[in-house]
Structure 1
Amino acid sequence: MSEGTSRYEATHIEVLEGSEAIRKRPGMYVGSTTVRGLHQALFEVLGRSVNEVLAAGGGCVDVTLMLDGGVRVTDNGPGAPVEAAGDCGGVGLESLLTRPHIGAASGDRYPTAWSTWGMGPCVTNALSSRLTAEVRRQHVRWVQEYVRGEAVSPPAVAGPADGSGTSITFWPDADIFETTECSFAVLAKRFEDVAMLNRGLSISLTDERPKGGPRAVRFQFPDGPADVLAALDAESGVQVPPDIIAFEREDAKMAGRVDVALTWCGPSEERIRTFANCVPTRERGARTRTGSGQG
């Protein structure tokens, strides 16, 4: 290297942390800045809610595409711990929204893996123009607001709470995403798949944007694989025989449960749909991530 050539030194390295790093390179965290990345930002929040209610034995998760462009995700889980209340029973609200987390939020099992790297809602927060979090826990309702990943103020008590759960409402940042309009059809299909794979889950999607009035769907499959089998046959127009053989088995080695449903089928063609951690594997094979087993 000649003396006239500038030298690359440690002082030339730019260190980005927290929301600044996520906003600088959003594709590294949600895959792209297209509608696919927009949906992934939603899944980062939704995955936490699904895992919370499943870890508690089952429950409801409701998603609303709001008229003003916001997206609200509400669950009836135990509610995220709030550091301001001295609650140290898990990942606290502020940590959840400002720091990446790998692994389970509640309990030892993490049934769904919606995120590529397990970053969680902190990614959504950083990529939103604003976000409001509400926690209902121990009969108290807490609220906190953020702007582009930065807290406006600490969590504050907003009154008494009936029941428990967490609600996160965010407005995707138009300076980051090419579009801030989520696809009702794409999300509905995704939610149906997750409800099929988790019998303790009820998940709804409400769209307040249509000019003709809101539209909504809810998915719940209390009989698990037997319901899945009926739904798949209904898609192909096949009349499902009344005798469906279904069974389940808990396996300590895989730290999970296997659910199976069988029946006779008229069509001869093969239909295969595969998932790992409740995420479709279109190319088959497995999908792994730190802190969760394959499903």
Structure 2
Amino acid sequence: MSEGAKSYDASDITVLYEWETIRKRPGMYVGSTGERGLHNAVFEVLGRALNEVLAGRATSVEVTLTRGGGVSVTDGGLGVPVEAAGDTDGPALETLLTRVPPRWELVGCKTAAMGPAVLGLYVTNALSNRLTAEVRRKGTRRVQRYTRGVPVAPPSAVGPAADGGTTIAFWPDPDIFETVECSFAVLAERLHELAFLNRSLRISLNDARHPGEPQSARFQSARGARDFVTFLGAGRGDPFIRT
């Protein structure tokens, strides 16, 4: 090494928290910072909701596009466990939102991996300006809020819950993405495919971004792959319910 070469010591090392690594190189986790990456962030959240269906804990998933670039994904499952201690139903809520998923969760035979990073809620939370998680579990509704991947406060009980399930509402960070407006058509196509692949699934997409021009679509396939063949044979006709 020549004497003129730049020195290298501990002061040249930058230590990043896990969520900071995702925000620093978002394309490595969702593919791009354009529309494709934006949709992949949605698919990461959708994958967790679909896993509730595959595990037999839910039969429906609802995706809603809200004003300001927000996206809400709701499942009718049992609700993500909020407290890890003494609860063996799965990873706690904050663990899912702030930690890399354990390897066993990634390779399960009934696990949906829809995004390129397979990090689920963790990567979407890190790339969101804000995120709100609502859990309806064992008769109680709890809410926890995050800002750019960091919890604002612990989960708090906000009232009773008449049903079970989890809702993840997030707003992709405009400082990260070139656009925060999802394409209704792109999301509808993906949900359409999921309905073919999961005969027990009822899935809906609602667009509430423009009050005067609401859009919605509901997808359900009674015969799965057979419906897909019919769909192709009819010149990509639509055997699903759309409203």
**Length-normalised TM-score, structure 1:** 0.75
The Cα shift of 1:16 comes to 1.7
Structure 1 position 115, deviation (Å): 2.2
Question: Considering only CA atoms, is the larger Rg found in Structure 1 or Structure 2?
Answer: 1
1:114 counterpart SS class: coil
1:7 correspondence with 2:2: no
Q: Select between 216-225 and 82-91 the one with higher mean Cα deviation.
A: 82-91
Cross-structure match for 2:134 = 134
Alpha carbons of structure 1 residues 27 and 156: separation in structure 2 relative to 1, 3 Å:
same
Q: Given the alignment of the two structures, is residue 194 of structure 1 paired with residue 194 of structure 2, yes or no?
A: yes
Distance 1:214 1:56 in 2: 31
List structure 1 segments (4+ residues) > 6 angstroms apart after TM superposition.
Answer: none
Percent identity (aligned): 56
Aligned-pair CA distance for 1:4: 3.4
Partner Cα separation in structure 2 for residue 68 and residue 155 of structure 1: 24
Aligned to 1:70: 70
Q: Distance in 1 between matches of 2:182 and 2:154?
A: 30
Q: Closer, same or farther in 2 for the Cα pair 1:141/1:86, shift >3 Å? A: farther
Kindly provide the amino acid, as one letter, of the partner of residue 222 in structure 1.
A
Query: Which residue pairs with 1:92 in the alignment?
Result: 92
Alpha-carbon distance change, 106 to 120 in structure 1, aligned in 2, over 3 angstroms: closer
Distance 2:110 2:236 in 1: 32
Using the alignment, how far apart are the partners of 2:222 and 2:104 within structure 1?
24
Q: Superposed, which structure 2 residues align to 1:91-240 within 5 Å?
A: 91-102=91-102, 108-210=108-210, 212-235=212-235
| Contact 2:84–2:92 (Cα < 8 Å) also in 1 | no
How far the C-alpha of 1:110 sits from its partner, in A, is 2.7
8 Å CA contact retained: 1:45, 1:168: yes
List per-residue Cα deviations over 1:64-118 (Å, max 9, x = no partner).
Answer: 0012321100001121111177534211100011112155659953342102232
Residue 67 of structure 1 aligns with an amino acid whose one-letter code is R
Does the 8 Å CA contact 1:45/1:120 hold for their aligned counterparts?
yes
CA-CA distance at 1:209 after TM superposition: 2.0
Contact 2:70 2:171 in 1 (8 A): yes
Unaligned runs of 5+ in 2: 238-243
Partner Cα separation in structure 1 for residue 48 and residue 105 of structure 2: 7
C-alpha spacing 1:154/1:58, structure 2 compared with 1 (3 Å)? closer
**Distance apart, 1:173 and its partner CA:** 0.6
**2:82 paired with 1:82:** yes
Aligned to 1:51: 51
What is the rounded CA distance, in whole Å, between the counterparts of 1:104 and 1:79 in structure 2?
20
TM-score w.r.t. structure 2 length? 0.90
Q: How many residues align?
A: 237
After superposition, what is the alpha-carbon deviation per residue over 1:99-158, rounded to whole angstroms, capped at 9, x for unaligned?
121556599533421022321111111111111000011111110001111111000011
- Secondary structure of the residue aligned to 2:68 is coil
Q: Root-mean-square deviation (CA), in Å? A: 2.1
Shift of 1:225: 1.7
Seen in structure 2, the aligned counterparts of structure 1 residues 91 and 38 have a Cα distance that, compared at 3 Å, is same
